[in-house]
Amino acid sequence: MSDVTDGARSGQEQSAEPSADEPEKGTDSGTDGTGGKKKSSRPFWKELPLLIGIALVLALLIKTFLVQAFSIPSDSMQNTLQRGDRVLVDKLTPWFGSEPERGEVVVFHDPDGWLRDEPTPKPNAVQKFLSFVGLMPSAEEKDLIKRTIAVGGDTVECKKGGPVEVNGKALDEPYIFPGNSACDDMPFGPFKVPDGKIWVMGDHRQDSSDSRYHTGDVNKGFVPVSQVVGRAVVVAWPVNRWSVLSVPDTFDQPGISAAAGAAPGVLGVAGALPFVIRRRRRLTSGRTAG
């Protein structure tokens, strides 16, 4: 009896062991080891449209809020910029209230028909799309690029044979195109720049239709700050012309700021005011006592 029982037990133990011909659980290519089916990865070609869509959205956001590429269409900023250069324009800082400063190269919308007689290129559908998302400079937008010479509150002028002066300080302008004068083709001023506007000039002075040539328009040659797209910060293309568009040292000379020039006078009046008031009180009290 015991032999039969032991034999039955032995048979049960043998049947519990997996056969060599039977696959072990969890080793099947269609399972994940827990009895469930293994998740297959999506083919790359299915994910590609999503990746392209994300890239285009990011490019559009960058173009709208951070930087935008612009193409130089003329020779008016030679030799700082050449026709066909691509520059990157900072569009972020204007969102925080930053305004153009003297010496900065800025891109701005046509303020009052400055480009009225200029032909407008007709881009194809692909070019329009690429410019919309910021991957290509727009050919339809009528924008200009010039150097900011004076800002709101400044007095700017230039007499024939002389340099440009801002608040009585002569500018040393090594960036002017070789052989050009500061303003001999169109002397101007003195003009007081209104608040919220700037006075701009091209570096190629004798080939630039800038503020000097539009003093008869509605803005009297000044460019409203609201029309400024942003500051051009770097030449990005072609690669052999890569450079940073920094502010020349002449715009940092002492006394050039209208506010700085007025500061000593303002401080002098403020310092003398208490003495004047005290003296008047003494004179008034003396007369009353008499």
Per-residue pLDDT of 235-251, as tens digits, reads 998 999 999 999 999 99
Single out the residue of 194, 202, 188, 201 nearest to residue 218, CA to CA.
Answer: 194
Domain boundaries, given as residue ranges, for the chain:
50-250
Helices (H) and strands (E) in the chain, counts: 4, 12
- Measured in degrees and rounded to the nearest 5, phi and psi for residue 138 equal -75, 135
**pLDDT attached to residue 60:** 58
Positions annotated as catalytic residues are 76, 146
**pLDDT attached to residue 71:** 87
**pLDDT attached to residue 191:** 98
Tokens coding 85 = 């250069």
Q: 88 in helix, strand or coil?
A: strand
**pLDDT attached to residue 290:** 47
Residues 6+ apart with CB under 8 A from 223: 108, 111, 197, 198, 199, 200, 211
Question: Residue 87 and residue 80: Cα distance in Å, rounded?
Answer: 11
DSSP 173: -
Are residues 163 and 253 in contact, defined by beta-carbon separation less than 8 angstroms?
no
Question: Residue 166 and residue 158: Cα distance in Å, rounded?
Answer: 9
Question: Residue 202 and residue 196: Cα distance in Å, rounded?
Answer: 20
User: Is 18 exposed, middle or buried, given 0-12, 13-18 or 19+ CB atoms closer than 10 A?
Assistant: exposed
CATH of 50-250, one of 3.90.1150.10, 3.40.50.2300, 2.10.109.10, 3.40.630.30: 2.10.109.10
Identify the helix (H) or strand (E) that includes residue 127. Answer: helix 125-132
Question: Residue 174 and residue 187: Cα distance in Å, rounded?
Answer: 19
- Point out the residues of the chain with pLDDT beneath 50: 1-16, 18-30, 260-273, 275-276, 283, 286-290
Amino acid letter, 222: F
pLDDT tens for 23-78 read 444 444 445 555 555 556 677 677 777 777 676 666 555 555 567 888 898 999 99
The pTM is what? 0.67
Identify the helix (H) or strand (E) that includes residue 199. Answer: strand 197-201
